[in-house]
Structure 1
Amino acid sequence: MVMNLYLIHSLYMIICGMFMFSSKRKHLLVVLLSLEFMILILFYFLYMFMNFFGFDFYFMMIFLTLGVCEGSLGLSILVSMIRTHGNDYFQTFSLLQC
């Protein structure tokens, strides 16, 4: 019963994150924030799942490390895009200029 509530809560938050990812795709920063939100929700669900079944939390540390690496890579791409193009709009970004 408790696991079902956590599952429903996690799925609702993932759907909200996917909606934000698909509806606010004009700026790269908003896209990166919605992706980071979905990673945090997956981390929350993984924590509840492992806590409910009594598993070891070693895999969670690996998942959290990869999430931090993904966030720092996204921020470095954002900084590089702002330095070269002056803003983070996807309309002004062209792959032919790189």
Structure 2
Amino acid sequence: MLISMNISYFMYFMGVLVFTLKCKHLLLMLLSLEFIILSLYFGIYLVFSLYLYEYNFMMIFLSMSVCEGVLGLSILVSMIRSFGNDYFHSFNVLW
């Protein structure tokens, strides 16, 4: 069980590292955010399977993460339609 939690921590920190280093394209940032959410989901699954045996929160977390992914993809599609690329520096023009 300890090895699985360490794998979850490693996945989380690698996702954060990729998110901070690959900030040029919006698609890479969205993929790293999804990887972070998958590592959090894996960690929550490990904790709940060990202690609580309540999986209702996991379904709520999974549905919220799907909504977050859909919102990110809709922003990506609107950005590509407006600017023609997914460079994050062209997205900062809107602010």
Query: TM range, normalised to the smaller chain?
Result: over 0.9
For residues 6-45 of structure 1, what are the structure 2 equivalents within 5 Å?
Answer: 6-45=4-43
For residues 66-77 of structure 1, what are the structure 2 equivalents within 5 Å?
Answer: 66-77=64-75
Query: Which amino acid is 2:22 matched to?
Result: K
RMSD over equivalenced CA pairs, Å? 1.0
Determine what percentage of the aligned residue pairs are the same residue.
50
Which residue of the partner structure matches residue 59 of structure 2?
61
Unaligned residue ranges in structure 1 (runs of 5+): none
Query: Which amino acid is 1:67 matched to?
Result: S
The C-alpha deviation readout for 1:52-79, integer Å capped at 9, x for no partner, is: 1142100000000000000000000000
- Deviation of residue 30 (structure 1)? 0.1
Paired residue secondary structure (1:81): helix
Instruction: Return the index of the structure with the highest Cα Rg.
Output: 1
Which residue of the partner structure matches residue 44 of structure 2?
46
Give distance in 2, aligned partners of 1:55 and 1:15.
26
TM-score scaled by length of structure 2: 0.93
Give distance in 2, aligned partners of 1:10 and 1:31.
19
Paired residue secondary structure (2:89): coil
- Deviation of residue 81 (structure 1)? 0.3
Paired residue secondary structure (2:94): coil
Unaligned residue ranges in structure 2 (runs of 5+): none
